[in-house]
Copies of this chain bind each other. A is one copy, B any other.
Amino acid sequence: MRTPCLVINFKAFKEGTGKSALKIAEAAEEIANKLNVCIAVSPNFLDLKDIAKRMSILTFAQHMDAVEEGAFTGHVTAYQIKEAGAGGVILNHSEKRVELDCIEDMIELAKKYELTTIVCANEVEIAKAVAVLNPDFIALEPPELIGGNISVSQAQPEIITKLVDEVKKYNPKVKLLVGAGVKTKDDVKKAIELGTDGVILASGVVKAKDVYQAIEDLASGLV
């Protein structure tokens, strides 16, 4: 995935399902082309293949299981994700936490099928441990910025730079996304200025009154 980038997680929102999912993905693609920036989308499992096949932008599965293939009813595999035409997978999201051992197995399976991995971590210690497992990206949610009114651009710059420094000490190659406190173009701009490789967000786009405008505003921070 080209960086800096904006990743949009559709979660299981109705506003990000079916035709609505396609509409968000189309807006993302149009804006990515217009501004010449990298925007990726992560629809639910059922919409993933359709969007991956139609769109030129990168698509991510929201999760996968730590099995390669076989008699595993209801499981999502790296092979399925690859066959669907998707480019990567989000792992260990706070709404889908996985066992430490599975994270390692998942990263290995994703690599085997050439899928880009984004592993979520909501504390700096977790991020450092994840860095050791060598994913492509870590999505950091700085505790100070979760669920509050403080955004990246308003926060003390040290919060982000310290986080980046600490994680890079354990793995200088891993790329970092900010996953909390991002609401505007200025937040995106600031996050990148402070050393991260992009941002990941969900409801700020998926539940926006004007999805196109929301994406365009955020994406213009990547330029």
Residues of A within 8 A of B (CB): 9, 11-14, 17-19, 44-50, 61-63, 65, 67, 69-77, 79-81, 83-84, 90, 92-104, 122-123, 125-126, 128-134, 170, 202-203
Contacts and interface: CB of A to CB of B under 8 A. Distances in A.
A97 B103 CA distance: 12
A166 B30 CA distance: 47
A100 B72 contact: no
A81 B73 CA distance: 16
Count this chain's copies in the assembly: 4
A101 B122 contact: yes
Nearest to A69: B14
B11 A100 contact: no
B126 A84 contact: no
B72 A95 contact: yes
Contact of A73 (B46, B69, B90, B130): B90
Nearest to A107: B125
A59 to B, nearest CB: 11
A77 B12 contact: yes
A90 to B, nearest CB: 7
B129 A130 contact: yes
Contact of A46 (B45, B92, B131): B45
Contacts of A46: 45-46, 48-49, 61, 76, 80-81, 83-84
A145 to B, nearest CB: 17
Given A71-B202, A74-B90, 11 more contacts: A11-B70, A11-B72, A12-B77, A14-B79, A45-B76, A46-B61, A47-B83, A47-B84, A73-B202, A74-B96, A100-B100
Contact of A126 (B17, B79, B101): B101
Nearest to A128: B132
Contact of A96 (B75, B128, B134, B203): B75
Contacts of A104: 123, 125-126, 129
Given A80-B17, A100-B100, A170-B132, A74 B95 contact: yes
